[in-house]
């Protein structure tokens, strides 16, 4: 379980990484090459798609950070967790729920995301 908790923390850190080179390195450590990410707004496959998605979110919500919204619940190689997006230490402007599937290599192979709270106009 601690491995899954650490992986989720590294996943959120990748979403927070604003340096493109460092973000790409973090993505390669956290995600399988052909990983898929799907939420109500986007569906992408591979590290290029993930990187572009994260860059777009950062462009739209500059200065906000992702944080874990509670305990990670996991079994087998599946984790579910709530995340918050807001100013460091402040109230969340967006809240979501992700389900991540971990492959045999210990990296995330699939993320299914849900948006529970989204700012107006997003």
- Which CATH number do you get for residue 22? 3.10.450.50
In a domain, 58, yes or no: yes
Number of domains in the chain: 1
What does the pLDDT read at residue 1?
Answer: 47
If one counts every other C-beta atom within 10 angstroms of the C-beta of residue 91, the result is: 7
In a domain, 9, yes or no: yes
pTM above 0.85, yes or no: yes
Residue 117 has pLDDT above 90, yes or no: yes
What does the pLDDT read at residue 51?
Answer: 98
In a domain, 122, yes or no: no
In a domain, 75, yes or no: yes
In a domain, 10, yes or no: yes
First vs last C-alpha separation in the chain: 34
Mean pLDDT of 14-36: 98
Which domain range does residue 10 map to? Answer: 1-117
In a domain, 69, yes or no: yes
In a domain, 87, yes or no: yes
């Amino acid at each position: 379980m601690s491995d899954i908790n650490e992986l989720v923390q590294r996943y959120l850190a990748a979403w927070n990484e604003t340096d493109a080179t460092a973000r790409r390195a973090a993505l390669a450590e956290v995600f399988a090459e052909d990983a898929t990410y799907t939420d109500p707004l986007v569906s992408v496959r591979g590290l290029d798609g993930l990187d572009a998605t994260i860059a777009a979110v950062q462009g739209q919500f500059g200065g906000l950070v992702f944080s874990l919204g509670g305990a990670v619940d996991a079994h087998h190689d599946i984790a579910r967790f709530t995340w918050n997006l807001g100013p460091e230490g402040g109230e969340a402007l967006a809240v979501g729920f992700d389900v991540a599937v971990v492959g045999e290599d210990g990296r995330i192979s699939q993320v299914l995301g849900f948006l529970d709270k989204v700012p107006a106009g997003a």
